[in-house]
Amino acid sequence: MDEEYLRIRQKLKDDFVHYAAKCLTIRSDEGFKKLVLNQEQLYLHNLLEDQRRKTGRVRAIIVKGRQIGCSTYIEGRYYWRSTHSLGSRAFILTHDVEATNNLFDMVQRYHEHCPQVVRPTIEASNAKELIFAGLDSGYKVGTAGNQNVGRSSTIQLLHGSEVAFWPHAAEHAKGILQAVPNVPGTEIILESTANGNGNYFHEQWQLAISGESDFIGIYIPWFWKKSYSLPIGKDFILTDEEKELVNLYNLSLENIHWRRKKILEFTTAGRDGTKSFMQEYPCNAVEAFQTTGEDNFITPHEVMKARLGEAEPYGKLIVGVDPARFGDDKTSIYRRRGRVAYNPQSYKKKDTMEVTGIVHRIIIDEQPDKVVIDIGGLGAGIYDRLCELGHKEILMDFNGGATPLDQKKYFNKRAEVWGLMKEWLLDTPCKIPDNDSLHADLCGIKYRYDSNTRLVLEKKEDMKKRGIKSPDEGDALAMTFAVPNSALNNSRAIQDNKIAKDMMSNYRHIDRLKRNAYER
């Protein structure tokens, strides 16, 4: 082999983007063509490769619109991996037989059209399996209708397709997902359009975006796909809703026209076409999991405006602290200055003294004007200890069940702070961190009005019954709205004066010790 040949082969082995464009063939509307990664696929590839470089493994869960090209990319990636390494077994698990057959046909097409110089010899081939001679590598497929599928296998590369529609997802989590060893070089990629909330796929998505699992959460929007557009005429006029979508997501008029046509297709048999479109072609990941929409207190688009908003922090610094120690909840901390919320912190399984230390450090380093602490459960001990440390003047205890300031409008204090937070979000511009976990928290709560037309928010226990995790980040941010303006006037001045007095007392004490030592 000459050096040029070796260089070419090494490039094909190391660079999937290059390999796909040279060696992988797909079927398209125009016939067969090479797999040149599009915007969506390149975005996915870069995120997976970044994780692989950092951890040695790939663990990803993907929320997407329909026919974005994820499966095409994943099957190509796994064909590349399994034909360039020893003992690399790939497994595709789909939600139904037709999907299984389609994806395996894609793999066979990759193999049949692969250039002979890089195509391995087949040792065994049937309707569900493709084994490469001399490598002990290959492909196998299965359907999620079988609870025990893949359970006894050893798998290095697992692709879970349309996971939200797996009929036995919990069993597969205990079975086939455990067949992938937790070692470098292995990959698990779970992808799906959404299918409501409270199911296995939604649960795993929540864990991924909150940083509570090894998986990274990846969202791919429908409007990145170039073919999701239609030509417009001269009389094409946008509705107010469509204007908002154009501004939020930088959609083209052709995207909007395509969206209109799809909504009309979905508006059949009494279905709400707009809501059906949101599930099949979501503009953001939170929207994907909302199948009803009308009874969520804060909408995904309202939050997206704040994620993309531009505002400058000004005024008093207020810190909200929502402590938690046990179970699935987490301690969350948020800061807010005027129109900007920033620098969130979240912790799992921190005890009273650990959280106290974290908040104490924030007070010393950042000198907030008010720190609001939820005193339910763990929070009471944190509040008391911080008072002992000399911070009583800038602390404010929060009890969500307490009487609100505006008793005619809100059922309790929790409803009041969330109501004020929603008003803040709607009064643009404002700015919140650009992250999916806060977005999900803010949009997860349902609401109603009682007989006195007061706002009542859904209880956390009821949210958990629906499969929605506790909105810890949302609660921490909402608590920054618990502070009336009158409470901010002198809190920092009082605190600073007390610190100054303490420091002067310490200096006098040290001076006395020095004089006593000198006299002795």
Could you tell me if 497 and 474 lie in one domain? Answer: no
- Within a domain: residue 200? yes
What domain range is 394 assigned to? 306-489
Looking only at the bridges linking them, the beta strands covering 216-220 and 58-64 are parallel
Q: Quick one: pLDDT at residue 293?
A: 47
Quote the pLDDT of residue 100: 87
**Bridging pattern class, strands 370-374 and 317-322:** parallel
Q: What was the pLDDT predicted at 127?
A: 72
Q: Quick one: 155 and 254 in the same domain?
A: no
In a 3-state reduction of DSSP, which class is residue 481? coil
Q: Which helix (H) or strand (E) holds 308?
A: helix 300-308
As a whole number of Å, the CA-based R_g of the chain is: 28
Strands 137-143 and 216-220: unpaired
- Number of structural domains (the chain) is 4
The reply to whether 299 falls in a domain is: no
Same structural domain, 449 and 433: yes
For residue 436, the domain's CATH number is 3.30.420.240
What one-character DSSP code corresponds to residue 346?
E
> How distant is the alpha carbon of residue 490 from its chain centre?
39
CATH number at residue 59: 3.40.50.300
What integer pLDDT is reported at residue 235 of this predicted model?
92
One domain, residues 233 and 336: no
- Indicate the pairing of strand 187-192 with strand 89-94: unpaired
> 284 by DSSP, 3-state: which?
coil
429: in domain: yes
Query: Does the residue 298 lie in any domain?
Result: no
Q: Please, is 503 exposed, middle or buried when counting C-beta atoms within 10 Å of its C-beta (0-12, 13-18, 19+)?
A: exposed
Domain termination site, one of 166, 199, 220: 220
State whether 262 and 159 are in the same domain: no
For 381, what's the count of Cα atoms within 13 Å in the CB-facing half-sphere?
13
Which residues does residue 278 pair with via DSSP β-bridges, in sequence order?
Answer: none
Domain final position from 179, 195, 220 = 220
355 φ/ψ angles, rounded to the nearest 5 degrees? -65, -40
H/E element, 331: strand 331-337
Per-residue pLDDT for the chain (520 aa), expressed as one digit of tens each? 588 888 889 999 999 999 999 999 998 877 899 999 999 999 999 999 999 999 999 999 999 988 889 999 999 999 999 999 998 999 999 988 888 889 999 999 999 999 988 999 988 777 788 899 889 899 988 888 776 666 667 899 999 999 999 988 888 888 888 889 999 999 999 999 988 888 899 999 999 999 889 999 999 999 999 999 999 999 999 999 999 999 999 999 999 999 999 999 989 877 888 888 888 899 998 888 875 445 789 999 999 999 999 999 999 999 999 998 666 678 999 999 999 999 999 998 889 999 999 999 999 999 999 999 999 888 999 999 999 999 999 999 999 999 999 999 999 999 999 999 999 999 989 999 999 999 999 999 999 999 999 999 999 999 988 888 899 999 999 999 999 876 666 544 444 444 444 444 554 444 454 445 444 4
Residues 233 and 212 occupy one common structural domain: no
The pLDDT of residue 488: 67
Name the 3-class secondary structure at 381.
Answer: helix
Q: What is the DSSP letter of 390?
A: I
Number of CB atoms found within 10 A of residue 476's CB:
29
Residue 301 domain-assigned (yes or no): no
Determine the distance from the C-alpha atom of residue 269 to the mean position of all C-alpha atoms in its chain, rounded to a whole number.
33
Cis amide bond preceding 429, omega within 30: yes
Shared domain check, 394 and 245? no
Cα–Cα distance, 509 to 409 (Å, whole number) = 54
- Same domain? For 241 and 337 the reply is no
At what angle are helices 413-426 and 472-479 packed, to 10 degrees?
80
Residues 353 and 316 in one domain: yes
Phi, psi dihedral angles at 7 (to 5 degrees): -65, -45
Distance CA 292, CA 458 (A): 15
Q: Are residues 448 and 400 in the same domain?
A: yes
In a domain, 297, yes or no: no
- Diameter of the chain measured on Cα atoms: 99
Number of neighbours of residue 398 by Cβ within 10 angstroms: 23
Long-range Cβ pairs for the range 356-360 (8 Å, 24+)? 356/381, 356/382, 356/385, 356/386, 356/389, 358/333, 359/319, 359/321, 359/333, 359/386, 360/386, 360/389, 360/391
CB 383 within 8 A of CB 392: no
Shared-domain flag, residues 118 and 258: no
Output the CA–CA distances (angstroms, integers) from residue 389 to 18, 69, 368, 497, in the order listed: 60, 57, 15, 15
Angle at 266 between CA 426 and CA 104, to 5 degrees: 110
Query: Are 267 and 203 in the same domain?
Result: no
pLDDT score, position 493: 45
Given 172, 197, 220, which residue is the final one in a domain? 220
Asked whether 418 and 445 are in contact (CB, 8 A), the reply is yes
Q: Is residue 39 part of a domain?
A: yes
**Res 489: pLDDT:** 61
Residue 316 lies in a domain: yes
Tell me the residue type at 262: K
